[in-house]
Amino acid sequence: MIDEKTIAPVVKELARALGDGADEQRIRELLRDFLENMKLEMDQAKRMVIKVMGGRPMATAMPGSDRKLDGLALDEKSVNLVVRVVHVTEKEIEAQGTKKRIYSGILGDETTTRPFTAWDAGAFKLSKGDVIKIENAYTTEWKGEPQVNLGRGARVAALPQSALPKVGRRSETRKIAELQEGMSGVGLSGRILSIERREVTVGEEKKTVFSGTLADQTGKTMFSSWHDFGLKEGDAIKVAGGYTKSWRGILQFNFDDRSQLDKLDDFPAAKDLSKPVTHSIESLDRAASAIDVEVRGIVLDIRPGSGLIFRCPQCNRVLQAASCREHGDVEGEPDMRVKAILDDGTGAMTVVCGREVTERLLGKSLDAVLKEIHGKKVVNYDTVRDKVSEMLIAKPVSVRGNATNDEFGLMLVSTELRFLSMGVADDARAILAEEEGAQ
Ligand SMILES: [Zn+2]
């Protein structure tokens, strides 16, 4: 029996939320029923009373009450939360022609973690580990899960660390496409597509690490196992208590002797998981990195620094007017690359093709290209870039490779470039549009 002192103020609160003429006796009965017979938590019980009595959802009906991250729906209008900033990055985006700085990252409480975006990084300061009270946030859908948004009406106040219990090494099961930087307590299942043993030095200590590529139906990730679990290529594994970390701009899934690892008998075959997963540029833009993905779109532009370029023999930097910004005038080494802007209707990204992909595109080796140029009366190195522009601009293509998203923006280093027929590109756009819509 829950005492009346606890019940009475909640009944008043609910009556206010439900509005004029709400039957307090009925509220009290329902509340007791949910708490005592159904053993619901107070928050849940309150929400149930509102629901049964035909009120609006809790978030709008009762702006005063804090919510838990695992109870958020996909499109809530006004939510108050007490959360810890698990991970945060500040970046500049362009929206409707104006540049602005936003925060994005992960929020956590004792129930789960959720991605968030704060659309005005100037409005308040967020740092990793901060415990904050957020008022008047709203949620949108991101990969079937709620994302917390802090718009113009949101308020943020700092709270002491003790306001929220530390999130333990409890494991929450994730798919590879959902991995974000700075996550801990991650549960993940995947098949090992490749693995190698490496010796590394961490501080003073020599360690053995087993790293490679892990895949599930949503994509691939690099992984590192800091403990010898006897893993080999082709194994399907289920890890509990892993964590993520970026290394050279690429997200890594890490686990160690404190993680739990089980081998799985039933998991999709390696040959089905090896294919690249097709992504929209918008979805890539929301991740820190993605490996071995395919993107389909139209080439909008070929950037300066494409075609035949010359690199500094000492530092490999691309020379500007035959000069390295570190080493001055040097004898440049020729190389070829393409820097293209690709647009798929959801966004635009930079695609960089290295020498091999550029050679395949031109159907000529670098040596053959140089011989041709030097055979002419007037040596013009720009001809390669002109040729590449003519071949690619306004053409629908598919590119495959690793994508990184950092202060330089979203970039994919392409290991494969295919031309698509116009019809195919339209189909691709239609499929992407459908996927985005369904998410
Ligand atoms: Zn140099």
pLDDT in tens, 355-404: 999 999 999 999 999 999 999 888 888 999 999 999 999 999 999 999 99
Residue matched to tokens 């930079």: 350
3-state secondary structure of 179: coil
The rounded average pLDDT for each run of 10 residues, N- to C-terminus, in the chain (439 residues) is 82 80 85 83 81 61 67 86 88 82 88 87 87 92 86 88 63 84 88 95 87 94 95 95 86 90 93 91 86 93 94 93 91 96 92 97 96 89 93 94 88 94 58 52
* Centroid of ligand 1 to alpha carbon of 307 (angstroms): 20
3-state secondary structure of 342: strand
Query: pTM of the prediction?
Result: 0.57
pLDDT in tens, 309-354: 999 999 999 998 889 999 999 999 999 999 999 998 888 999 999 9
Structure tokens, 362: 């031109």
* Centroid of ligand 1 to alpha carbon of 320 (angstroms): 11
Percent of the chain, pLDDT > 90?
A: 45
Percent of the chain, pLDDT > 70?
A: 92
* Centroid of ligand 1 to alpha carbon of 321 (angstroms): 13
Query: Concatenated DSSP letters for 290-330?
Result: EEEEEEEEEEEEE-TT-EEEEE-TTT-PBPBTTEETTTEE-
255 to 58, 205, 239, 404: CA distances (angstroms): 39, 18, 8, 22
CA dist 39 and 433 (Å) reads 44
CA dist 286 and 302 (Å) reads 24
Contacts of 166 (CB under 8 A, 6+ apart): none
CA dist 104 and 321 (Å) reads 39
Cα 25–chain centre separation = 49
CA dist 375 and 369 (Å) reads 10
pLDDT, residue 268, reads 94
Task: For residue 147, count other CB atoms closer than 10 A to its CB.
Answer: 19
* Centroid of ligand 1 to alpha carbon of 245 (angstroms): 31
pLDDT, residue 252, reads 93
Contacts of 5 (CB under 8 A, 6+ apart): none
* Centroid of ligand 1 to alpha carbon of 381 (angstroms): 21
Instruction: Answer whether 386's CB lies under 8 Å from 363's CB.
Output: no
* Centroid of ligand 1 to alpha carbon of 114 (angstroms): 44
pLDDT, residue 364, reads 94
Give the H/E segment covering residue 101.
strand 98-108
Cα 331–chain centre separation = 41
* Centroid of ligand 1 to alpha carbon of 317 (angstroms): 6
CA dist 344 and 48 (Å) reads 44
Instruction: Answer whether 336's CB lies under 8 Å from 359's CB.
Output: yes
* Centroid of ligand 1 to alpha carbon of 308 (angstroms): 17
* Centroid of ligand 1 to alpha carbon of 202 (angstroms): 30
* Centroid of ligand 1 to alpha carbon of 329 (angstroms): 9
* Centroid of ligand 1 to alpha carbon of 316 (angstroms): 6
CA dist 302 and 299 (Å) reads 8
Q: How far apart are the first and last CA of the chain?
A: 44
Give the H/E segment covering residue 220.
strand 219-225
* Centroid of ligand 1 to alpha carbon of 332 (angstroms): 9
* Centroid of ligand 1 to alpha carbon of 318 (angstroms): 8
Ramachandran angles phi, psi of 106, nearest 5°: -130, 135
